[in-house]
Amino acid sequence: MADMTGTALAPQLYLQAQARWRAIEVAFWLATLLPFVLLPNYLVLASQIAITALFALSLDLILGYAGIVSLGHAAFFGLGAYTAGIISKFGWGEPLSGLLVASILAGTVGYASSFIIARFRHLALIMITLGLGLLLHEAANSAHWLTGGADGLQGVKIWRLLGRFNFDLWGYTAYAYSLIVLFLVFLVARRLIHSPFGLALRGIRENSVRMPAIGAPSRSHIRTVYTIAAVIAGVAGALLAQTTETVSLEVLSFGRSADVVVILILGGAGRLYGGLIGAIIYMVARDQFSGINPQFWYFWIGSLLVAVVIFLPNGILGGLAALAARWRSRS
């Protein structure tokens, strides 16, 4: 017995051990600073990648960890974008408070819709999230007086960040701002995932009916994580509105909801970094493919997705993890 008890950790200690930072993670985050030095002409793209990564991270919390399939996640992204854009249009362009208000509104709508989301699974859930997304898209389209409808929101003007840093054309401030927000939100998400709540979410993903029998209220947990994901998606949307000073109906589109699912599948769902890696690959691929072939670049994105799903069913990170495990077992 002694030898077994000696190495068995208490639950909290076990989770803390799982949450320890690894060298590769530190290297990843240090590498995100490289564009400032090596790719100064691509900072605008880098900022878009950081925002998309944040959006994908929010989807990962619900899809990768809790098993909630959503085809309407752009609803919260768009809500955040329009909120930040509209309050700036009406005279308040301070970015941080804009971010806060956008996240609160997206979170409130997320919380309200979570009561419906928590009742359904699988196909029904896909239909409901899709419906909610389309509903919001059309609402924004018809509220032309507020959103600008199909013409997009005009007159968004964002003030200097912290009263000091102007959002320059080269994207220095935009990338630094997006990266810092992404990192801070990532820290929160990481903490959440390595907590008993995060572990319970994974249990819910595996078997949401079984979890209550071990004391975890599945529906309440789903409502909580859905609200958190909505807040994060709202932050991502607000970041996009603030760094580009434009908001179009596209932020609420089905295409954006589908793209983020593709990104997560590419990178690997349920791995925290999957959305981040997926966003980098997807956005860079899109940038390059559209440069090579402006009309048919989606063809190549589709081919990439099919190849990943066939050869790396758990995404790029899942494939790398499997390779690493095989290498460890050989050595």
Binding site for another protein (CB under 8 A): 1, 4-5, 8-11, 14-15, 196, 199-200, 202-203, 206-207, 210-218
In the complex, minimum distance from the CB of residue 292 to another protein, in angstroms, rounded to a whole number? 38
In the complex, minimum distance from the CB of residue 73 to another protein, in angstroms, rounded to a whole number? 23
Backbone angles phi, psi at 165, to 5 degrees: -100, 115
Q: How far is CA 175 from the centre of its chain?
A: 16
Q: Is 80 or 318 the residue whose CB approaches another protein more closely?
A: 318
Around Cβ 24, how many Cβ atoms within 10 Å?
A: 8
Q: Is 144 or 210 the residue whose CB approaches another protein more closely?
A: 210
In the complex, minimum distance from the CB of residue 265 to another protein, in angstroms, rounded to a whole number? 16
Which of 27, 81, 35 lies closest to 54, judged by CA? 81
Q: Is the separation of the CB atoms in 88 and 238 below 8 Å?
A: no
What is the C-alpha radius of gyration for the chain, rounded to an integer number of angstroms?
20
Q: Is 136 or 200 the residue whose CB approaches another protein more closely?
A: 200
Q: Is 9 or 180 the residue whose CB approaches another protein more closely?
A: 9
In the complex, minimum distance from the CB of residue 212 to another protein, in angstroms, rounded to a whole number? 4
Residue 62, amino acid:
I
In the complex, minimum distance from the CB of residue 4 to another protein, in angstroms, rounded to a whole number? 5
Q: Kindly give, in sequence order, each residue whose CB lies less than 8 Å from that of residue 49, ignoring residues fewer than 6 positions away.
A: 279, 280, 283, 284
> Which element (helix H / strand E) includes 305?
helix 297-311
Cα distance between residue 170 and residue 319, in whole Å: 36
Q: Is 149 or 203 the residue whose CB approaches another protein more closely?
A: 203
Q: Is 8 or 30 the residue whose CB approaches another protein more closely?
A: 8
In the complex, minimum distance from the CB of residue 10 to another protein, in angstroms, rounded to a whole number? 6
Which residue's structure tokens are 């997206």? 106
In the complex, minimum distance from the CB of residue 140 to another protein, in angstroms, rounded to a whole number? 38
| Backbone angle region of 269, left / alpha / beta, with phi > 0 → left and psi within -120 to 50 → alpha | beta
39 DSSP assignment: -
Q: Is 122 or 164 the residue whose CB approaches another protein more closely?
A: 122
Which of 52, 41, 31 lies closest to 285, judged by CA? 52
